[in-house]
Structure formats: structure tokens, C-alpha cells
Amino acid sequence: MALRQAEHLCPQAVFVLPDEEAVIRIRELLSTALYDLAPTVEVRDEGIAWLDLDGVVHPGEAIREMRRRLLKAIGREPRLGLAPGPFSARLAASSARPGRLMRVEDARVFLAPHPSRALPLEVEQLERLDLLGLRTLGAVAAIGPRELESQLGREGRHAVLLARGLEPDAISAWRPPMFTSAHRQFGEPVEDREALLFVARALCGDLAEELGLRGAGAKHLRVRLGFEASEGEQRESVVRHPLSSQAELFGLVGAWIKEWQPRAAITELWIELPVLEGAGRRQLRLWAGSDGSSDEVIAALERLQERFGDEVVWKPA
């Protein structure tokens, strides 16, 4: 419903406009949380997420993990639906109880009793359907696509295909941005190095968790300090070997902060990872139990050379 229409219908109501930034942030949060569970993941602003489970080896595990992660991210049990396509899956999920999964084998049979108002049509088009006596999806599915197209235009044809469970729409995959950052604003300006290290460690933990979900590593690291009255200071470095764990990130960030001499009390701290390396380039602990951490050891030796000079590390061979 348009805002103007709502105000007309209810003049006493206070209308709160959506916080666009918060919506985007929550969508990114959910997308990041679900990104590695399936090849295609889509999260919509209205709080719906789809996973295309085609090709997923253990779909049951992916669904369980999705439930767990969503619960952690939003703090509420999600409703889950498993169906042949996104439209029927959405309706299945809306019919499920919180924390439960509704599984649909035959989409057409499942959709038939649902009201036609579930179709993604304009209000006028839905009223038209009502006038035509097409009050359920079963009724919409029973008429020919061309017949409804002649009444509602292209959306009418689309609506019939949806009602028949033919799922004409595909999920549009979310692509993670190739950069990320974490930021903390302090209520009181911080002068204590220990406090700054504590916050930096927590931010590195958040970033590492995100990198872990995306299977990515940071090739470039930047730390910025903001001050109350003067221009901020920053330090950055391109690393030879991508950093992905909290220990790796905090190893570098912590070392910088320990020797940093800020000119004033700090009001804001940013840790930015402007360049990420794609997933699959680095598979740490692949040979778990033996020497799977070899990459990490080499990376640690390289970081020692970056910090203290090449001569610090010597390989006799």
C-alpha cells in the first residue's frame, strides 16, 4: 500500500519510514551468514531468504545449518519451506511453524488451496482476480495463461505459471562485495592502549568470522583512528599471504596499535579490508592431523620478515 493511501485511510497513525541503511545491513548480514551453504543464495529486504539446493550433497544438513545461523543472526526461529521453486517455497515457509520445515512434493497440489492474493500482483490486479472469481491459486491455475494475459497483461500469464507450480522465476544469486570493514565508535574518547587492543581484537574476530563464512582472505589491511577535533591517522599494508583468522588479523593490527603514538584521544576505530582474495585460493588445514597448517607457518614466517626484516628468517636449505 502506498504511503499516501495509508495516511488517507488512517490520519491519526504515525508512519515510520524504513531505515534503508539498516535494511541493507541486515540483508548483507543474512547473505553473509548463508553464503556458503548453497551455490545460489538470495536474501530479500522483506526478510525472505532462498537457497537453491540443487547440487548440494547433503541438503538436510544445509537446511539445519541455515536454521542455526538464522537463529543466531536474528535471534528468532525462522520458518522454513522446502519446495521445487522459490514461490512455492515462500508459501510453504509462511505456512510452517517457527523453527519447523514444511516440505512440498507437488507444488501445484500444495498451492491450489492458497488464496490468489499470495500472487505478486498489484492491488488493482488482485481486485480484478477477485472480481473474476479467481479466489484461490487452484482457480487461477485452472484457466489458460493466455486468458489471464488478456485480462491482466503479462503479469497475468506469469501468475498462472506461478499458480501451476511451474516456477518461472529463478533466484538471483548474491555476490559478496570484495571488501569489508568493521568499525567501532567510542562513547568516550579512548586513551588507554589496552582498551583499544581489546576493541581491535573483537573487530578482528568479527571480520575473521565473516571471512571464514565467505572462504576469503584479506590481501590488504588498513587501520584508521579517528580523533575528536583533528584529522584521523591511518596505517595500511598489502600482505603477501592473505589473512583470514582472527589471530592473523590481530597479529598485524595488534602490532601496529602497540607501537602507535596517536596524537589525541581516539573516538573511532576502523579496520578495513579493501582487497579480498576469492574463496578456494587457500585451503588451510586441508590435511588436518598432519602438516595442513604449512601455509599458515609460511605466512607467519613472511609476516615476521615484513615486521623485522628479511634476515630474521633463515632457511639453510
Partner 1 sequence: MQEVALESAINSIRVRFGSQALTRAAELPPPQPWPSGSPLDRLTGIGGIPRGRLSLFTGAGTSGKLTLALELLARATREFAHAVVIDGGGFDLSSLDSFSPEQGPLTIVRAPAPETAGEATAMLARAGARFLLVMSDVPEHWLGPIESGANRSGTVLVGVVESPGRALAHASSFSVAFARTEWIWERGLLVGLRVAVRCTKNRVAPPLGETELEVRYPLGPRTLRDFSAGVVEASPRDIAEVRPRASAAV
Closest C-alpha to 121, from 137, 106, 107: 137
Q: First vs last Cα of the chain: how many Å apart?
A: 73
263-296 in b/e form (b: 16+ CB < 10 A) is: eeebbbbbbbbebbbebeebeeeeeeeeeeeebb
Contacts of 296 (CB under 8 A, 6+ apart): 248, 284
The residue count for binding partner 1 (CB under 8 A) is 26
- Measured distance CA(308)–CA(274) in Å, rounded: 25
Contact call for residue 297 and partner 1 (CB under 8 A)? yes
The answer to whether 250 touches 307, Cβ cutoff 8 Å, is no
Amino acid at 303: R
User: Which cell numbers hold the place of 86?
Assistant: 522459490
- Is the CB of 41 or the CB of 269 nearer to partner 1? 269
- Is the CB of 177 or the CB of 309 nearer to partner 1? 309
201 by Cβ neighbours in 10 Å (0-12 / 13-18 / 19+) ranks as middle
Contact call for residue 72 and partner 1 (CB under 8 A)? no
Contact call for residue 291 and partner 1 (CB under 8 A)? yes
Strand partners, 43: 49
Contact call for residue 300 and partner 1 (CB under 8 A)? yes
Taking CB under 8 A as the criterion, the residue among 61, 99, 198, 228 binding partner 1 is 198
- Is the CB of 168 or the CB of 212 nearer to partner 1? 212
- Is the CB of 138 or the CB of 251 nearer to partner 1? 251
Contact call for residue 286 and partner 1 (CB under 8 A)? no
Amino acid at 234: Q
Part of the chain binding partner 1 (CB under 8 A), chosen from 48-56, 156-164, 209-217, 302-310: 302-310
**Phi, psi dihedrals of residue 234, rounded to the nearest 5°:** -145, 160
Contact call for residue 48 and partner 1 (CB under 8 A)? no
| CA distances, 298 to each of 145, 242, 311 (Å) | 62, 11, 15
Taking CB under 8 A as the criterion, the residue among 201, 220, 224, 282 binding partner 1 is 201
- Nearest-5° angle of CA 38, CA 23, CA 65? 30
- Is the CB of 82 or the CB of 211 nearer to partner 1? 211
Element (H, E) at 259: helix 246-259
Part of the chain binding partner 1 (CB under 8 A), chosen from 9-17, 54-62, 208-216, 297-305: 297-305
- Is the CB of 13 or the CB of 288 nearer to partner 1? 288
Contact call for residue 301 and partner 1 (CB under 8 A)? yes
Contact call for residue 296 and partner 1 (CB under 8 A)? yes
Contact call for residue 138 and partner 1 (CB under 8 A)? no
Give least dist CB 179 to partner 1, A: 25
- Is the CB of 183 or the CB of 307 nearer to partner 1? 307
Taking CB under 8 A as the criterion, the residue among 138, 151, 304, 306 binding partner 1 is 304
Strand partners, 270: 183, 224
The answer to whether 292 touches 284, Cβ cutoff 8 Å, is yes
Give least dist CB 54 to partner 1, A: 37
Amino acid at 87: F
Give least dist CB 260 to partner 1, A: 16
Using CB under 8 A, which residues numbered 213 to 272 contact partner 1?
Answer: 247, 251, 255
**In the complex, which residues of this chain contact partner 1 (CB under 8 A)?**
198, 201, 247, 251, 255, 290-294, 296-297, 299-301, 303-304, 307-308, 311-317
